[in-house]
Structure 1
Amino acid sequence: MSTLLEINKVSAFQGAQQVFSNLDLKIEQGEKIAILGPNGAGKSTLLKLLNREIYPVVEEGSFVKINGSETVKVDELRQEIGFVSHDLQASYNVVSSALEVVVSGFVGAIGLLYQHYPLEDDHYQQAQQRLESLGLAHLAERKFHHLSTGQQRRVLLARAMIHQPKTLVLDEPTAGLDVSAAFALLDQLSALCAEGRGIVLCTHHVEEIIPDIERVILLREGKILADGPKREVLSEALLSELYSVPLTLSEHSGYYQLRRAE
């Protein structure tokens, strides 16, 4: 199995705020991983290291390798990894249609307005097929900002799948969704996992961890609190430490739920 992401002794900042110091982490291709932690733990910063939105501090012996390379090109990265995040969702302008959002994934753009991209009819046909595969074909011509939050998130999932990537990376995938939309999205993620894709799911909600997830990383204040098989890491003791509150954990049909301990 080849390595998707290797982080070695990395320090990283978001603006003036240091998020990581001497961070080590390795994720293999095809792994199904959840990165769990409270707000401010460093989850989004970790994803920005992966998608090359930010870079680590240059230090001796420190590196971030993606697919074994420290110098992977962003356009090549788009072929291998599909990203879905709230930041991406908020970036689309009010005139983009759902179909245009998906098509824009071919060129890594945020919409197609006022730009001349080398797109052909085949690109639009593939985008339409991707919408159809997620049950969204009827929304193709609807303006993105007229869709519900759940529909927007699923359109972004279609965009992430446009290159048939080996790995999907999702940041708080059900944030802002109602119960029905959240479960619909999680079901679609499970179906994509069943096709053999890797998944990296960042969340602060244990309820988002689909049964397909095999490994869980607990991240707190920029440090890895625990990393290992899901059933070992998702314990009441570790989760209580992670969130700094006494918690009880229950599991049903592969899904987990947290409650405050009495």
Structure 2
Amino acid sequence: MDKIINIEDVKWIKGGQEILKDINWMVKSGEHWAVLGLNGSGKTSLLNIVTGYNYPTMGDVTILDTTFGKASIPEMRKRIGVVSTALERFDATLNNQTVEDIVLSGKFSSFGIYQEVTDKDRRKAESIMADLRLDYLHGKYYRTLSQGEKRRAIIGRALMTEPDLLILDEPCSGLDILSREDVLGITESIKERESHLIYVTHHIEEITDVITHVLLMKDGEAVVSGKKEDVLTSENLSDIYKTPVKIHWENKRPWLSISSK
């Protein structure tokens, strides 16, 4: 599988409004991408195309060798893991579950375990917890965790299915700096599990060394895409953020400051 995502000339129109405009985007095997843009830039709409929850008004989409209109979208979704703050609506259910059961539930795409769990499943969940530095929370209930620990537990849940594509949609939203760095610190283990990572944010300092490529979104358009060192320039970011900014690199991560006009 050479191409993980291949989107060609895609438009998405809703209520007569063109939300996505002539999107072209290719993610190749072995690449890990960040999708960057302001709120309302089209990031979520693009994700909904990738996961098959929105169907393009025009254009061609192939995700994980599944060409839209020619293959099963539900089967494709089984190969994609999604972590989003939208999952917080299930907190009432999650609160009374242990961390290991939350990770295990990912096998069944459920919130709670209602099917038989094998010893092999438990060993796999324990391995994921160890990789994500969650093993010290064994037996702890979700409601007792910090926000950063909760996000890592949900990421662990997504990894139970060994997804070919893992989408982290603003996973650090609402976290303090310590919890944020805790979540960002596990991206290396995601890479080692051979999932292709799509990290969606509007904060460039969340783009860790694991990310190889960046797509910049603005007003429903894919403005620039390519290797992160080429894309993350002061000029490009001033354009998508609609204000003058400067970028500098520290510890292999980009950082942003507002430039005087």
Do the structures match in fold with TM over 0.5? yes
CA distance in 2, matches of 1:83, 1:139: 22
Q: What value does the CA root-mean-square deviation take over the aligned residues?
A: 2.3
1:112 alignment counterpart = 112
Q: For 1:53, what is the secondary structure of its paired residue?
A: coil
Equivalent residue, structure 1, for 2:62: 65
Change (3 A) 1:136 1:260: same
Distance 2:150 2:225 in 1: 32
Helix, strand or coil for the counterpart of 1:38?
Answer: coil
- CA 1:25–1:200 in structure 2 vs 1: closer, same or farther (change >3 Å)? same
- Taking structure 1 as reference, are residues 17 and 154 closer, same or farther at Cα in structure 2, changes over 3 Å only? farther
Q: Does 1:102 find its partner at 2:99?
A: no
Counterpart of 2:206?
208
For these two proteins, the number of residue pairs brought into alignment is 255
Normalised by the length of structure 1, the TM-score is 0.86
> In the TM superposition, what is the alpha-carbon distance from 1:190 to its structure 2 partner?
2.4
Q: Is the 8 A contact 1:66 1:72 kept in 2?
A: no
Task: Note closer, same or farther for the CA distance 1:73–1:26 as it changes in structure 2 (3 Å cut).
Answer: same
Within 1, Cα distance between the matches of 2:89 and 2:143? 9
Give % identity.
27
In structure 2, the residue matched to 1:51 is 51
Contact between 2:162 and 2:195, CA under 8 Å: does it hold in 1?
no
Residue 83 of structure 1: SS of its match in structure 2?
Answer: strand
Change (3 A) 1:99 1:180: same
Q: Give the secondary structure class of the aligned counterpart of 1:259.
A: strand
Q: Is the 8 A contact 2:64 2:76 kept in 1?
A: no
Question: Shift in Å at residue 228 of structure 1?
Answer: 1.6
Question: How big is the shift at 1:143?
Answer: 2.9
| Pair 227,106 (structure 1): closer, same or farther in 2 beyond 3 Å | same
- Which TM-score applies when normalising by structure 2? 0.87
Matches within 5 A, 1:112-191: 112=112, 116-191=114-189
In structure 2, the gaps of 5 or more residues are none
- Which runs of 5 or more residues in structure 1 are unaligned? none
What is the Cα deviation at residue 135 of structure 1?
1.9
- CA displacement at 1:227 relative to structure 2: 1.1
Q: Secondary structure of 2:153's match?
A: helix
CA distance in 2 between partners of 1:150 and 1:16 (Å): 40
Is 249-258 or 66-75 further displaced after alignment? 66-75
1:197 is displaced (CA, Å) by: 3.9
CA 89–126 in structure 1, closer or farther in 2 if over 3 Å, else same: farther
Structure 1 match to 2:4: 4
Which residue of structure 2 aligns with residue 218 of structure 1? Answer: 216
Moved over 6 A (4+): none
| 1:52–1:129 distance in 2 versus 1, CA, 3 Å | same
CA change 1:12–1:101 in 2 (3 A) is: farther
